[in-house]
Every structure is written in C-alpha cells, then in structure tokens.
Homo-oligomer: A and B are copies of this chain.
Amino acid sequence: MAVLSDPKSNHLLAALPDAEWQRWLPSLEPVALPLGKVLYESGGKLTHVYFSTTAIVSLLYVMENGASAEIAVVGNEGIVGISLFMGGGSTPSRAIVQSAGHGFRLKASLMMEEFNRAGPVLHLLLRYTQALITQMAQTAVCNRHHTLDQQLCRWLLLSLDRLHSSELVMTQELIANMLGVRREGVTEAAGQLHKAGLIRYQRGRITVLDRDGLEQRTCECYAVVKKEYDRLLPALLAR
C-alpha cells in the first residue's frame, strides 16, 4: 500500500467544490495512521482534523475504571475532530486508530478559517456531523437492546463499509474493547459466525465470507445508520 494515497479517497475531500479543493491541497498533510495511534485524547485540545483514506478510527469513551465503549466509527467517509468546528474544541472521548492505514490532516486554524467562510464546506461538514449523530444515537439503542451476536455483526458491517477489502486486521480483544464487552464473549460470538460460514479468521485477521449473511443476522441498527449516511451524503458515496 502506498504511503501517499489519493486525498480524494476520502469522501468528504472528494466532495469539495473545486475552489476549496485547490485551496486545501497544499495544506493537506499526509499522515500514517498506525494501529492504536491516538488522534485526540479525552478533553484534549485539537491541533488538527484528520481525513482518513484507508484507516478506521474509533471514537471511544474510556471510563474511570478503565472499561471502554465505542461511540462511533469513522473511516474514509468522514472527518475526525468535529468538536473543533462545532465549538468547544474538545470532547470527553478519545479518537484511536482501530485499523491501520493512511490519511491526511489539516491544521485546526486552517480548518476553522474554511468553516467560517460559511459556504459549502460548512454545510458539507454539518451534514456529515448529522450522520455521525445518527450513528451515536443508534449505538446507544443497540447497546441497550441487542445481543452481542447482533452487535458484532453490526460492527463488522460498519467496519467493512469503511474499508476496501473484506478482511479486517483485528484481534478479538480489540473488538471486545470497542463493543465494551468481554473478550470471551467475542470469541463465542465469532465462533457462531464461523460455524455459520459467514466469516473465517486466523489470529487477528478476520475475513468476511458472506456479507449478506451478516446483514441477515444483525439488528436493524446497521440498516438505520447505513440508510442515514446514504441519505445525507449521497454525493460522497458516488465517488
């Protein structure tokens, strides 16, 4: 995989009007996003916003006792660091790379300048934020009502949608952290999916064999989120 991927692999960047694109290009700084890299810390000030091209980033809340839960996931469809332009400049959550890859970043000050032009950039970012809000809301619902198996399916599907392959480099331990459950629970649920022939895996590497099967097993939450992203950001998905 090339270190320098195309910025237009990020759907938000790709959706920029030409004027903005030309203006931003020189300032877009390519960055490697290795597994576990923390893009911002809970309560920390944002220095950059990130546009992933091939990585997946989790927005994670870590509790006082060390337990954690994923709030939302961002891939090449979005931007990491919305609290910058929403106001406040920080959030109580952490952004951490969940699947290694590359991306681009933009200085916070520049981002703010662009946002404050109050043109298409602002509207694009707010629509994306609205989609992200839906994902968070649905995460709350899912955490309340659905089984671990269903949630695992949802999580795999959301991750797949944000990747280019059907293979996830991801240990069960990591997945457990994201879902906020025990690793053993993930082992068990993954075992079910394996038995059902939907996935295959070897030590930190999950291959999805039957995407439709996963969709049938998961709860409605996945479809709700997917539909809302498609509705709010159609241009981005056209690519």
Residues of B contacting A85 in the complex (Cβ-Cβ under 8 angstroms): 126
User: What's the least CB distance linking A232 to chain B, in Å?
Assistant: 5
**Cβ-defined partner of A140 (8 Å) among B71, B127, B228:** B71
Residues of B contacting A64 in the complex (Cβ-Cβ under 8 angstroms): 220
Assembly of this chain: how many copies?
2
Residues of B contacting A136 in the complex (Cβ-Cβ under 8 angstroms): 133, 136-137, 140
**Cβ-defined partner of A224 (8 Å) among B92, B126, B144, B180:** B92
**Is A239 part of the contact surface with B, judged by Cβ < 8 Å?**
no
| B71→A129 contact, CB < 8 A | no
**Is A2 part of the contact surface with B, judged by Cβ < 8 Å?**
no
Residues of B contacting A122 in the complex (Cβ-Cβ under 8 angstroms): 118
- How would you classify the secondary structure of chain A's contact residues: helix, strand, loop or mixed? helix
Residue among A63, A83, A93, A127 with max Cβ neighbours from chain B (10 Å): A63
| B140→A139 contact, CB < 8 A | yes
**Is A174 part of the contact surface with B, judged by Cβ < 8 Å?**
no
**Cβ-defined partner of A232 (8 Å) among B61, B67, B88, B139:** B88
Complex formed: what's the CA distance from A85 to B224 in Å? 21
CB closest chain-B residue, reference A122: B118
Selected A-B contacts with CB under 8 Å, 27 pairs:
A59-B137, A64-B220, A69-B141, A71-B137, A71-B141, A72-B137, A83-B130, A85-B126, A86-B127, A86-B129, A86-B130, A87-B123, A87-B126, A87-B127, A88-B228, A88-B232, A91-B133, A91-B134, A91-B137, A91-B228, A92-B134, A118-B122, A129-B129, A136-B136, A140-B140, A144-B180, A145-B180
